[in-house]
Chains A and B, each alone.
Chain A
Amino acid sequence: MTNISNLQKVLKEGKFAVTAECGPPRGANTAVVNKKAGLIKGFVDAVNVTDNQTAIVRMSSIAACSHLIQAGCEPIMQMVVRDRNRIALQSDILGAWSLGIKNILCLSGDHQTFGSQPDALNVFDIDSMHLIRTVKNMRDEGKDMSGFNLDEPPRMFIGAAANPFADPFEYRVIRLAKKIDAGADFIQTQCIYNMDRFKKWIRLADDEGLTDKVHILAGVTPLKSAGMAKYMKNKVAGMDVPDSVIKRMESVPKEKASEEGIKICLETIAELREIKGVHGIHLMAIEWEEKVAEIVKNAGLMPRS
């Protein structure tokens, strides 16, 4: 298959994958995207491009992905079902493939009440599970949701998200299994600070044989400050930041906090690499892309192919 994505290749070869995240600008400035591309190029296998993250209007994921390709990076187009109905979603998938976008991450999306325009009408015509299956059917059957035969199918590598820290915990593994059945090839998780809970989740997934069916990339986010840790604990939906992590961030002087955050991140990565079923990391350095290279290097994850 010539069309196979780089990420797909790395995972297929059984290598430990590294993906990062890139939030497009709140404006039409390509230079921002190119700058981020420059910072991570060569240090990751693919980069997620968020889709109006936290329900704030930004340059479209599809356009930013296209700029990244031109800058020599492989993008993973994130797509949320919050803003577009099934017609628009399918049309964007076809458009994305035509632009050379080979990876997609299917998400439901943060509720619009968190964003800059809480007065917006949301769509949620289909859910993330439906989106996964739609891309799979487009790819494997060459059909859109109406059953129409597509002229050229989008042969995308399909990703989905999992949050081991959301409730109800017991159902999380069932939901993961459903996403795999629906067509997910890889999974990226929410950022991990509560390692015990993550391990419990992946053990359950492993017991169900799920880690053999899907590639799991464990999410990590370096903390910049104790304030950021507290904010994530209290304000970000579905995040689990244990008090021990907050205490550790508070225990160092302010100017050393970001260093400590990176240390924690590196320790987390080292621990994740030892866990059966973890096939890579997903590094979400939120607006801190300049640290990606350092983290990947110091984690001993270089060279990337």
Chain B
Amino acid sequence: MIVGEQKPIAEIMEIIEPYKKILILGCGTCVKTCFAGGEDEVAVLASTIRLVCKKDGKEIKKITEQTVERQCENEFIQEASQNISQNEAVLSLACGAGVQAIAKRFPKAPVLPGINTTFIGIQEKHGIFTEECQGCGDCKLGRFGAICPITRCSKKLLNGPCGGSQKGKCEVNANTDCAWQLIIDRLTDLGQLNNLIDYIPPKNWQSSISGGPRTLIREDHIV
């Protein structure tokens, strides 16, 4: 899922400053799972904003609360159209794609991000999320024992660990596992360490962030 974190309240207050009537729009899928932007977070944020206004002696903002299932899909966005048109701005608690999806459909509505979208990851344990994929567009997990060196090695190394790997941890942070230690351990367990003996050529980054914005077209599904 997409992992995100709510922005600090001071920053949120700053970006909503010009507006009196706002819609806080939550998203019920990824960011709900990571406790950043579902119904509960929308409600808490709305009361926090009111409280801060009160504390600072400012006019209390009129806030509408709504959460749609997925802000990145038109079908769900439509449910919010009435609330969007009745407010001065939308404070979106979705990932960056959700924020932009709203902006695309509603050209006149100011859409503000309430979340810092951080990464594509998984919930490791309750409350702990880890980055697992950078959406590089050419997945080679099969070769690496299903552990992604592009994402999980701090140096994106494709041919084995750097000289800084120690006791299974990455040189960058003693709390981060060295991806290469994980890869080697797992391939050893699977009896597939041979995967790593051959030279793995440089990555073609065209399928990734270096090729400009990507579009996926499924002709078979276009109606």
Contact = CB atoms under 8 A, between A and B. Distances in A.
A is bound by B: yes
Interface stretch (B39-47, B123-131, B159-167): B159-167
A111 B155 contact: yes
A278 interface: no
Interface in A145-183: 145, 161-163, 165-168, 170-171, 174-175, 177-178, 181-182
A interface, how many residues as a size bin? Answer: 35 or more
B202 interface: yes
B157 A171 contact: no
B199 A129 contact: yes
Given A125-B202, A129-B160, A145-B202, A237 B166 contact: yes
Contacts, number: 99
Nearest to A113: B172
A282 interface: no
Max count, chain A CB within 10 A of own CB: residue among B161, B163, B167, B203: B163
Nearest to A109: B155
Contacts of A215: none
Interface in B136-195: 154-168, 171-173, 178, 180-181, 184-185
A131 to B, nearest CB: 9
A97 interface: no
A111 B172 contact: yes
A127 interface: yes
B109 interface: no
B205 interface: yes
B176 to A, nearest CB: 11
Interface string B38-64: 000000000000000000000000000
Given A82-B155, A127-B155, A237-B171, A166 B202 contact: no
B144 to A, nearest CB: 13
Given A108-B155, A111-B154, A127-B157, A166 B197 contact: no
10 contacts: A126-B202, A127-B159, A129-B158, A130-B202, A145-B202, A162-B163, A165-B166, A166-B162, A167-B167, A178-B199
